[in-house]
Amino acid sequence: MNVDPIIRAFLEGLSPEKLARKFDLDLREVIGIIDRYCASSLRPEERARRLVREIERLDQLQTAFEGIAHSTQDPACAHAVVALSKRKSSLLDIDQVRRVDLSIIEPEPLRTGHAKVMRVIEELCSLPAPDAPEDASDRHADGEDQQYH
């Protein structure tokens, strides 16, 4: 059985149920045909063949648009040539895509004037107390320590 018309209709968007009615087949048969087509499409050698065909098609389009762009100086054709070139580069994985690191970086907390003053006070409070020399202003004339009430 030639499955090409069934696959073509499937690729055009017909559902398996509609394909079964259109081609007078059992639904399980149609689903089997679609499954085999999809499985074969994912094989590396099939993907390579499709890639080569797509590159050839893009080359033909690019050549045609380049000729028109050169002869008519049409900016739309020049734009099409650039777009086709970008697409080919993407398919061949030779385009240089910028990679962005999306790591979350915690910003340093905003330090207000109040926060800075508090930090300095905390640092000063955490320092060991210096050995204070006896100050003459803390003693009375009679030699006793002055007491505050």
The full DSSP string for 52-121 is HHHHHHHHHHHHHHHHHHHHH--HHHHHHHHHHHHHHHHHTT-S-PPP------PPPPP--HHHHHHHHH
The tokens 């900016």 sit on which residue? 75
15 domain residue, yes or no: yes
pLDDT mean across residues, the chain: 84
116 domain residue, yes or no: no
Q: Domain count for the chain, please give it.
A: 2
State pTM to two decimals.
0.48
Does the pLDDT of residue 101 top 70, yes or no? no
pLDDT of residue 35: 94
Candidate from 73-77, 92-96, 125-129, 145-149 with smallest mean pLDDT: 145-149
108 domain residue, yes or no: no
Residue 40 makes CB contacts below 8 A (sequence gap 6+) with 46
What token pair was written down for 51? Answer: 């890639």
Confidence of residue 143 (pLDDT cuts 50, 70, 90): low
pLDDT of residue 1: 83
* Cα-to-chain-centroid distance, residue 148: 71
Based on the fold, state whether residues 57 and 82 are members of the same structural domain. yes
User: 21-67 pLDDT, tens per residue?
Assistant: 999 999 999 999 999 999 988 889 988 998 999 999 999 999 999 99
Confidence of residue 142 (pLDDT cuts 50, 70, 90): low
Confidence of residue 147 (pLDDT cuts 50, 70, 90): low
137 domain residue, yes or no: no
pLDDT of residue 134: 58
133 domain residue, yes or no: no
* Cα-to-chain-centroid distance, residue 39: 29
pLDDT of residue 95: 75
Domain range for 7: 1-42
Confidence of residue 138 (pLDDT cuts 50, 70, 90): low
61 domain residue, yes or no: yes
118 domain residue, yes or no: no
124 domain residue, yes or no: no
